[in-house]
Amino acid sequence: MSKRVYIEIDKEDLPEIFEIELAGKNVYLKFDFNTVGSFYTVDLFDNNMDPIIIGEKLSYGRKLWNGLNDPRIPNVDIMPFDESLKEKTITPDNLGVTVFLYLMTLEADGEYL
């Protein structure tokens, strides 16, 4: 059982778009698969469906929107990650099986949940 909350992606029904509350903001996330580069992407839209970030590549162990300073981006760390630490990449075979898009919230002691 997972120790972290994660965002479910239906990789069999891409592109997939849905509304979600992140850090108190209602936003839309759109997930897709780039067949040419063989990787997953996510688009971030505000609650009016105005684009904020388009085509962010999901990279294993890398926080989404890392280093971008835009007040419209929710202040939350989201990262593709495998809690068992066996995976090192994101593939169609492991996404949603062992690799999930986790909300990496911190406990009071500074450790990730």
pLDDT in tens, 3-30: 678 999 999 999 999 999 998 999 999 9
pLDDT of residue 1: 54
**What is the model's pLDDT at position 104?**
81
Looking at the domain assignment, is residue 93 inside a domain? yes
CA distance 89 to 60: 5
| Phi, then psi, of 13 in degrees rounded to 5 | -130, 45
Q: How far apart are CA 108 and CA 94, in angstroms?
A: 31
The residue range of the domain holding 78 is 6-103
pTM equals 0.87
Higher pLDDT, 105 or 45: 45
Residue 29 lies in a domain: yes
Q: Quick check: is 109 in a domain?
A: no
- The average pLDDT across 82-86 equals 91
* Domain presence at residue 53: yes
pLDDT at 62 over 90: yes
By percentage, how much of the chain surpasses pLDDT 90?
A: 81
Give a yes or no: residue 113 inside a domain. Answer: no
34-43 tens-digit pLDDT: 999 999 999 9
Total domains, the chain: 1
> Does the residue 110 lie in any domain?
no
